[in-house]
């Protein structure tokens, strides 16, 4: 028996020894990439389409599938059959699905915006019609399918597809001055939309926003490229407390060929506008500069009169969402945090509350829509715990709630237009995405796609489980996860490396497959580090009070929580309290910089990538939502800025930034570098030329960055190996 035992141990050790180590090259060359469904577009009836690439012919096609069977019904268009186009990169249908807009040569501008060459494809005649010979933005069919509106050179144009006649709607568009129909930089980034024009349902009017950027300060960045002299990128960027664009809502009447400016009273922002089910009624949302007073306006296009139908206020700020949904009687669905948690409300067409549809100490995290025939709403929520996402249905009257997905983890639904079916994407911490077809009753019909091959492959690697737990500190109880070395022994002492983001309403501790950085954490754990992530106060999905406690003091409570979390973790018998590091990117970089300064007795090292180092440098909409203006709240800005605590640096610090970051400007790192120099504090620095906020474009960029960070950790957090 003793010999058999020795033999078994030897075989087990051999099997363990044969396990592979994850490498940085594998992480960033796509070796662990998950299989995903292409972006799905729901069609009329029980059908959907996918944009597919044929690897043999190198052509692209739009293919139609049946929800009921998941079988391909037909190929709607294939670029191999188009003499004018070898490929296309995106597509959109008109209302009756007889035509498509196909886009090629897409050129990114900022995070969400782009330029491209666009064609209209007629399905019946299989013919292409060029919309404009120049690159344009956001071409959109009219509901009557006869026209396309688009933006070019900061103006709006309409092309009549029957006559080929192009009508110019606006004429005053000018770079860095006037924008018509397309959002300025800060609206695109913070209100998260680009197209700022919309057709009325009868195709007789176009509502659009006009941005007057004249008084907005100009920001410039040197672009180094590979030329003899650098060029400059110059754009309007309103920093906190500075002038915003003056934004107005306008309605252009097609028949009269005339625009009217709409009087919405006093406001600072128009973050949303949409046409209601009443053809003559446009709905617009306005916000004051503090973003704590939101109004919903109904505008009558017959006389351009406007009335406020709903007002929502908050002691801190009101969230802007895309959940406003109009029913056939022009009553509407609205989501709000006004009872302390985000829930669904139903209002009459006059803005009178009919009922609160969902309720409880949990959050509605996505509203998918309503089947008016059955009066059934579909939504995603945290009812299964704040780190999970589950799909539910409920009647319009708030009754007959039904859980549609049973697995605990992260469920994301893509519904058919008629809400008879949905394709669910499920993952959890141990399961990469699985795509499954369900009907509206929550009955699982068929698995479409899984990543079992990746799971099988991952068995060849040394991996440790991600363990969820609740961390108790003097400041509260927080969601957290931990990854330990594969050869973990509770009697050993391990260095602790903490990761976090910590921004308002964010979540880093979630039960989902999140393997981009997780592979890196596994690599670090295999080197002998314990990796921990803690979501402190100010993060999301645990109620408005938990999230909004950081109001007017970004970086105060969040930093306290990371420092206290490190102290509590340092008390664990297997953690070396003298070897604790922290890192973060963007808001997380702001946090890690503050932590090594204000927590210099706790953190031995830190890495800050693309950090905000003073909220005075960041944009108006985001910053003032949480901080008000620097003029109103100077101490909130300065008492939590790393710039003012450079003299406290005792540990080892790596500061990283892309010089072409249009979001968190390189200025943040330059100012902080200067503060550290003036304080005579040594630090390490890595600058990535012309890289934007994500620091990813260019050959080996991410690999180089993660090599740099890995070596810095190894040099400054000592393991027992």
**pLDDT single digits (tens) 542-562:** 999 999 999 999 999 999 999
Beta bridge partners of 199: 206
Long-range contacts of the stretch 68-75 (C-beta < 8 A, 24+): 68/421, 70/437, 70/446, 70/448, 73/47
Q: Which token pair is 98?
A: 């007889």
Give the pLDDT confidence score for residue 478 in this predicted structure. Answer: 98
CA 151 to CA 36: how far, in whole Å? 32
Q: Which of 586, 592, 614, 620 is catalytic?
A: 586
The maximal CA–CA distance of the chain, rounded, in angstroms, is 96
**149 CB-contact burial (10 Å; exposed 0-12 / middle 13-18 / buried 19+):** buried
Beta-carbon contacts of residue 594 (< 8 Å; ≥ 6 apart): 555, 559, 640, 642, 645
C-alpha torsion angle, residues 272, 273, 278, 280 (rounded to 10): 160
Q: Is the pLDDT of residue 320 over 90?
A: yes
Angle, to 10 degrees, between the axis of helix 515-526 and the axis of helix 701-716?
40
pLDDT in tens, 397-443: 999 999 999 999 999 999 999 999 999 999 999 999 999 999 999 99
Residue 342 makes CB contacts below 8 A (sequence gap 6+) with 319, 335, 336, 363, 364, 365, 544
Q: Which of 134, 156, 157, 158 is closest to 146 using CA atoms?
A: 158
Contact assessment for residue 244 and residue 265, using Cβ atoms and an 8 Å cutoff: no
Once rounded to an integer, what is the mean pLDDT over residues 337-361?
97
Collapsing DSSP states into helix, strand and coil, what is residue 714?
helix
Strands of 17-96, DSSP E? 40-42, 47-54, 59-66, 72-78, 90-93
Give the pLDDT band of residue 14 (cuts 50, 70, 90): very low
pLDDT beyond 80 at 121: yes
Paired tokens of 633: 């709240």
- The sign of the CA dihedral 559, 562, 565, 566 is negative
Q: How confident is the model at residue 721 (pLDDT cuts 50, 70, 90)?
A: low
Is there a catalytic annotation at residue 510? no
Q: How far is CA 250 from CA 113, 216, 320, 391, in A?
A: 22, 21, 21, 38
Buried b (16+ CB within 10 A) or exposed e, 23-51: ebeebbeeebeeeeeeeebbbeebbbbeb
Give 588-592 contacts, CB < 8 A, sequence gap 24+. Answer: 588/499, 588/500, 588/501, 588/502, 588/503, 589/656, 590/555, 590/642, 591/500, 591/501, 591/502, 591/555, 591/558, 591/559, 591/562, 592/500
The distance of Cα 486 from the centroid of its chain, to the nearest Å, equals: 33
Q: What is the DSSP letter of 554?
A: T
Rounded CA-CA distance 641/657 in Å is: 17
Residue of 384, 576, 661, 690 with catalytic role: 661
563, 598 contact by CB (below 8 A): yes
Residue 187 DSSP label: I
Under a CB-based contact definition with an 8 Å cutoff, are residues 377 and 344 in contact?
A: yes
How does pLDDT run across 186-228, given as a tens digit for each residue? 999 999 999 999 999 999 999 999 999 999 999 999 999 999 9
**pLDDT (0 to 100) of residue 40:** 86
In angstroms, rounded to a whole number, what is the distance separating the alpha carbons of residues 327 and 320?
20
235 exposure class (CB count in 10 Å sphere: 0-12, 13-18, 19+):
middle
Beta-strand pair 466-473/494-499: unpaired
- pLDDT per residue over 89-103, tens digit each? 999 999 999 999 999
Average pLDDT over residues 516-536: 96
**pLDDT digits over 558-580, tens only?**
999 999 999 999 999 999 999 99
CA distance 485 to 498: 14
Angstrom distance (rounded) from CA 225 to CA 221 = 12
Question: How far does the chain reach from its first CA to its final CA, in angstroms?
Answer: 34
Per-residue pLDDT band for 11 (boundaries 50, 70, 90) equals very low
58 C-beta neighbours (distance < 10 Å), count: 11
* pLDDT reading at 3 higher than 80: no
pLDDT grade, residue 15 (50/70/90)? Answer: very low
The pLDDT assigned to 2 comes to 36
Q: How many whole angstroms separate alpha carbon 712 and alpha carbon 575?
A: 20
Secondary structure (DSSP) of 327-385: -TTS-EEEEE-TTSS-EEEEE-TTS-EEEE---SSS-EEEEEEEETTTTEEEEEE-TT-
638 carries an active-site annotation: no
Tokens describing residue 116: 């491209």
pLDDT of residue 516: 73
Between CA 56 and CA 78 the distance in angstroms is 13
Indicate the helix (H) or strand (E) that contains 678.
helix 667-678
Over residues 59-73, mean pLDDT: 94
| Residue 720 confidence (pLDDT) | 74
pLDDT given for residue 38 in this prediction? 83
Q: What confidence tens digit (pLDDT) does each residue in 100-119 have?
A: 999 999 999 999 999 999 99
Residue 714 has pLDDT above 70, yes or no: yes
Return the pLDDT at 7: 35
Q: What is the pLDDT of residues 130-155, one digit of tens each?
A: 999 999 999 999 999 999 999 999 99
Tokens of 449: 């796609």
- The predicted-structure confidence for 247-264, as pLDDT tens digits, reads as follows 999 999 999 999 999 999
Assess contact for 294 and 312: CB atoms under 8 A: yes
Average pLDDT, the chain: 95
- Alpha-carbon distance of 610 to 633, in angstroms, equals 24
Domains in the chain with CATH codes:
171-275+283-294 (no CATH), 321-428+431-460 (2.120.10.30), 465-716 (3.40.50.1820)
Percent of the chain with pLDDT strictly greater than 70? 98
Mean pLDDT computed over 375-395: 98
DSSP 511-542: SS--HHHHHHHHHHHHTT-EEEEE--TT-SSS
245 is catalytic: no
Closest alpha carbon to 646 in 594, 607, 605, 603: 594
Of the pLDDT bands very low, low, confident and very high (cuts 50, 70, 90), residue 19 is confident
Classified as helix, coil or strand, 260 is strand
Dump strand ranges (E) for 155-278.
155-160, 166-168, 178-180, 197-199, 205-212, 218-223, 231-236, 246-253, 258-261, 269-275
67 CB-near residues (< 8 Å, 6+ apart):
46, 47, 48, 416, 420, 421, 423, 437
- DSSP code at position 708: H
């Amino acid at each position: 028996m003793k010999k058999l035992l020795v033999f078994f141990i030897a075989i087990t050790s051999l099997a363990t020894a044969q396990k592979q180590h994850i490498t940085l090259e594998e992480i960033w060359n796509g070796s662990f990439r998950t299989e995903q469904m292409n972006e799905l577009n729901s069609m009329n009836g029980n059908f959907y389409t996918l944009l597919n690439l044929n690897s043999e012919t190198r052509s692209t096609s739009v293919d139609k599938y049946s929800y009921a069977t998941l079988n391909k019904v037909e190929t709607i268009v294939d670029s191999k059959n188009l003499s004018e186009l070898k490929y296309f990169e995106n597509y959109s249908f008109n209302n009756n699905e007889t035509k498509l807009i196909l886009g090629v040569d897409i050129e990114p501008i900022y995070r969400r915006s782009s330029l491209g060459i666009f064609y209209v494809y007629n399905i019946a005649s299989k013919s292409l019609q060029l919309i404009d010979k120049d690159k344009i933005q956001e071409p959109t069919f009219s509901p009557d399918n006869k026209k396309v509106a688009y933006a070019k050179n900061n103006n709006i144009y309409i092309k009549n597809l029957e006559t080929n006649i192009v009508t110019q709607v606006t004429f005053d568009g000018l770079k860095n001055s006037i924008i018509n129909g397309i959002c300025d930089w800060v609206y695109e980034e913070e209100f998260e939309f680009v197209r700022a024009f919309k057709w009325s349902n009868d195709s007789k009017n176009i509502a659009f926003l006009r941005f007057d950027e004249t008084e907005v300060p100009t920001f410039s960045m040197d672009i180094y490229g590979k030329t003899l002299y650098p060029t400059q990128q110059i754009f309007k960027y309103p920093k906190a407390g500075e002038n915003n664009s003056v934004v107005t809502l306008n309605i252009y009447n097609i028949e009269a060929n005339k625009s009217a400016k709409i009087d919405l009273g006093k406001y600072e922002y128009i973050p949303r506008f949409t046409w209601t089910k009443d053809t003559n009624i446009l709905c617009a949302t306005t916000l004051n500069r503090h973003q704590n007073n939101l109004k919903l306006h109904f505008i009558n296009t017959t006389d351009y009169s406007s009335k406020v139908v709903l007002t929502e206020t908050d002691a801190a700020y009101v969230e802007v969402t895309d959940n406003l949904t109009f029913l056939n009687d022009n009553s509407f669905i609205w989501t709000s945090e006004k009872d302390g948690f985000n829930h669904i409300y139903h209002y009459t067409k006059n803005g009178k509350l009919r009922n609160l549809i969902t309720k409880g100490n949990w959050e509605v995290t996505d509203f998918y829509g309503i089947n008016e025939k059955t009066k059934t709403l579909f939504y995603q929520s945290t009812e299964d715990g704040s780190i999970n996402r589950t799909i539910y249905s409920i009647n319009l009257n708030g009754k007959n709630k039904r859980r549609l997905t049973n697995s605990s983890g992260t469920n994301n639904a893509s519904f058919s237009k008629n809400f008879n079916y949905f394709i669910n994407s499920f993952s959890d911490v141990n399961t990469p995405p699985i795509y499954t077809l369900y009907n509206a009753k929550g009955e699982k019909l068929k698995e479409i796609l899984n990543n079992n091959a990746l799971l099988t492959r991952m068995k060849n690697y040394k991996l440790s489980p991600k363990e969820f737990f609740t961390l108790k500190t003097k400041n509260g109880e927080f969601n957290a996860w931990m990854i330990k070395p594969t050869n973990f022994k509770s009697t050993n002492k391990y260095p602790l490396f903490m990761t976090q983001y910590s921004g308002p309403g964010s979540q880093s501790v979630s039960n989902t497959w999140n393997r981009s950085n997780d592979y890196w954490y596994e690599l670090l754990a295999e080197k002998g580090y314990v990796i921990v992530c803690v979501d402190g106060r100010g993060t999301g999905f645990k109620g408005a009070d938990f999230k909004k406690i950081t109001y007017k003091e970004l970086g105060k409570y969040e930093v306290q929580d990371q420092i206290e979390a490190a102290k509590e973790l340092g008390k664990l018998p297997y953690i070396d309290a003298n070897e604790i590091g922290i890192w973060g990117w963007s808001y997380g970089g702001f946090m890690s910089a503050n932590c090594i300064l204000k927590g210099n007795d706790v953190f031995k090292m830190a890495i800050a990538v693309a950090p905000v180092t003073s909220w005075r440098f960041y944009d108006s909409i985001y910053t003032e939502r949480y901080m008000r203006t620097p003029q109103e709240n100077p101490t909130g800005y300065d008492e939590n800025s790393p710039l003012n605590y450079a003299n406290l640096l005792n540990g080892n610090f790596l500061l990283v930034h892309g010089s072409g970051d249009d979001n968190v400007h390189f200025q943040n790192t330059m100012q902080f570098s200067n503060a550290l120099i003036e304080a005579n504090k040594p630090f390490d620095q890595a600058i990535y030329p012309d890289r934007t906020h994500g620091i990813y474009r260019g050959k080996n960029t991410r690999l180089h960055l993660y090599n740099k960070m890995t070596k810095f950790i190894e040099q400054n957090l000592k393991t027992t190996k």
